[in-house]
Amino acid sequence: MENNLGNIMVIGACGQIGSELTTALRERYDEVKVIAADKCAPGGQDLFENGTYSSLNVLDRGGLKEEVEGHDIDTIFNLAAILSAKGEKNPQLAFEVNTVGAYNTLEIGRKLGVDKIIMPSSIAVFGPEVPKDDTPDEVYLKPRSMYGVTKVAGELLGYYYWDKYDLDVRELRLPGVISHKTLPGGGTTDYAVESFYSALTDGHYDFFVREDTRLPMMYMPDCVKSLIQLAEADPGSLHGRTNYNVGSMSFTAGELAREIGRHIDEFSYDFSPDYRQELADSWPNSVDDRSARTEWGWQPEYDLEKMVRDMLVNLERKLGDDVSVELNTQLA
């Protein structure tokens, strides 16, 4: 397909979202360079075999400049981030990677005249004061986690670079992202992914949040679609710019457990909230994403039922002999 993104660099390409976004971009556009950039070891993964890999730490501004210049990059997706739970264990590192990383990306974009920068923000920008249901884009932001603080800073920095330097920066607020290819690393919403692995390999999962914890979530195909749609959107229609809510599904930990249990009779579960409960409690139940829908055509495809089926089909295949339970429904 013809693209309006030119040569692309995905920073954080080894991560949960980066690994799938890189593959999707390479499949979507013919004859286009999609550089996978990260500081992970490029050993043997298809990500590195099917395109160029660039060893890069987003905190190394000189190295970033060299890579962006050397590959003649037009569009940067910066997905390098320390997520909420890990960020509370090491707030200083979260500040560096998330805020300095965003600043470096914007600065290099400005200096080298890059066309577009896309950076995910998060539902972690919200604090407990805002309406819990259908939380709007434009509300008072007082997050309680360092991750949330850095994401608010990222949104404001992005808006500043657009406003002052005419740099085409676009950001959306992702909810918890569920996927089967690459594990998430250190988020509060990781229980939603872990529960599938444990259900299949042990028949049991101990959720680290309360049963009634309701959070906005999204399945990876919708997440990848949202990032590409926002990147491809006509700049003239983008008024929100760096604070788009993107809703998809919203469910409690108990509802997720029961939906997995519909396919695995022997699945048992407990709820033992830990320090991550406080973070989950400070976030919305669901978001109002009307701006994303009207300004760039956002429309999710997966709901809880469809996502759970797809996760189980794919993980059963991936985990092979490690699966220790019987699936009681015909999934494929």
Residues designated catalytic: 147
> Rounded to the nearest whole angstrom, what is the least distance from the CB of residue 82 to ligand AKB in the complex?
9
208-238: string of b/e by CB count within 10 Å (b at 16+)?
A: bbbbebbbbbbbbbbbbbbbbbbbbbeeeeb
Residue among 41 and 183 whose Cβ is closer to ligand AKB: 183
Contact in structure between 143 and 149 (CB atoms under 8 Å)? yes
Contact in structure between 102 and 11 (CB atoms under 8 Å)? no
CA atoms of 95 and 82, how far apart (whole Å): 8
Three-class DSSP category at 40: coil
> Rounded to the nearest whole angstrom, what is the least distance from the CB of residue 237 to ligand AKB in the complex?
25
Residue among 168 and 190 whose Cβ is closer to ligand AKB: 190
> Rounded to the nearest whole angstrom, what is the least distance from the CB of residue 107 to ligand AKB in the complex?
24
261-276: string of b/e by CB count within 10 Å (b at 16+)?
A: bebbeebebebebeeb
Angle among Cα 226, 228, 232 to the nearest 5 degrees reads 115
What's the token pair of residue 61? Answer: 């501004």
Residue among 108 and 124 whose Cβ is closer to ligand AKB: 124
Residue among 3 and 98 whose Cβ is closer to ligand AKB: 98
Contact in structure between 322 and 201 (CB atoms under 8 Å)? yes
What's the token pair of residue 317? Answer: 């295949």
Residue among 188 and 282 whose Cβ is closer to ligand AKB: 188
> Rounded to the nearest whole angstrom, what is the least distance from the CB of residue 51 to ligand AKB in the complex?
26
> Rounded to the nearest whole angstrom, what is the least distance from the CB of residue 303 to ligand AKB in the complex?
19
Contact in structure between 166 and 235 (CB atoms under 8 Å)? no
- Strands (DSSP E) contained in 253-322 are 268-271
Contact in structure between 242 and 158 (CB atoms under 8 Å)? yes
Contact set with ligand AKB (CB under 6 A):
83-84, 122-124, 147, 174-176, 187-189
> What is the number of other CB atoms lying within 10 angstroms of the CB of residue 72?
10
